[in-house]
Structure 1
């Protein structure tokens, strides 16, 4: 079933641009999800980052909690197990995670809403490897946005100055082994993402499921070097649902597989905090009138959603 969600070779964006843009746009209109292969991010860079993240999650609980900042909504640093809850869910997700944000220049006007990163001193390689993966995924995300812009008749660089200081987040996630049967919680409850697009490194372990337009849950386990990229709520709103933010979840595996930990690393690509999310005129038609007459800033939208998922 996973083959139903397309995987595309992003090298074609350079050599076969029109066809690639058409196929990518069609995939996102239908699914809100696609796999991106041959992206050029070295596997060694990904493996090194994962090794650092695993080292952190192997630390004692009291040590990890030193990097939790209460009242910040998990914006940076560590968020313990049992806090984040999918919108509308009664049960918290079975995960703990860490947030790495953009390193801003000293004079940045966004410092008041984008706090500095927090680095665990017990894992000295965490910073260098985390930022290397952050920057690689940020660049790949910009390429995907260029293709998406072209598909809706915008210039290829439309998003460049709207995301260059985006409040984007790299989130290494640890789903601990599940030791009890018949629990109501799942590793990640059904949800849509908040941001423009999400790039997921580590969907090669079974568990990710995507809800089709018919309401079916479709497993999406990537192969090879594929990175899963999906649309978030901000881009859905900006494009008046031309690009849908699809509901997805991470289910608990059956049997002995549940007793194994699971790791994944999504990169949530956000626009700049003061970007005004106002429906694009090119996405308004007689058949698709504007669904959002009132614009909202990216930061305002983010704050609203963080309260809904109990991070604030």
Structure 2
């Protein structure tokens, strides 16, 4: 029950009941509601500024985690760029130089992407600039990896060819030092053993007892194993590929046949004195692109420096050849 209020009327010298008008009541009610609303709004506003809701806290943690991951991603990209730069440097200045391949220009390695805007869908966000720059770096990095991968595929192919070339080039003596009696004659002008006239001796003569093994000096395919070439007697020719052919003459007998594949160090025949020969020995020649060349430069696979110098000294003597 609401309290009844009175006021003192001085004219009538009596107390009279205070009657509240409806308009006044409505006014007070409106003011109360308005004040409450304003107070509530002010409270909510202040609370929103200083007090986080559980959802806001969760979103804030997610944002902080995203920023951390973004920072880690940029660091990883920087590390990848450094590693890729080192690989590119070795690729250009070591691998491609060794295998005689042209270096890849920096413009090709680090080229961007022209034409249409690839990142339009990333525009309009708070961190658009940062996101676009990171995407650009990632795209360029991926492109550089593709370029480098293709380059390394090429280098692997060149290395395989180089390995085959190194295995094919004649690189050892046809007769081992242990079996040699002496190195009788080298490449150059020598006296003919039959006519005593000086003429060009196109190979090297390795003196050894009859039946001494003769070795293939490089990988290849036996091109000939016969005695139909004038003066050579029983002889073998091996096609090593890459323009190289080796010849072994005056053999006692063969240990291979025509079209047979051989490896460096395989026994292909035995020392003899067939054909135009004065004594048992292996006459050895090397052809490059159809031209005879000095075999002295092709013994790096079996001789020490001292042995090579001694061989070079004997090969340089203008003595008499054995064929």
TM-score, structure 1 normalization: 0.23
TM-score, structure 2 normalization: 0.22
Instruction: Determine which structure has greater relative contact order: mean sequence separation of CA pairs < 8 Å that are 6+ residues apart, divided by chain length.
Output: 1
Q: Which has the higher helix share?
A: 2
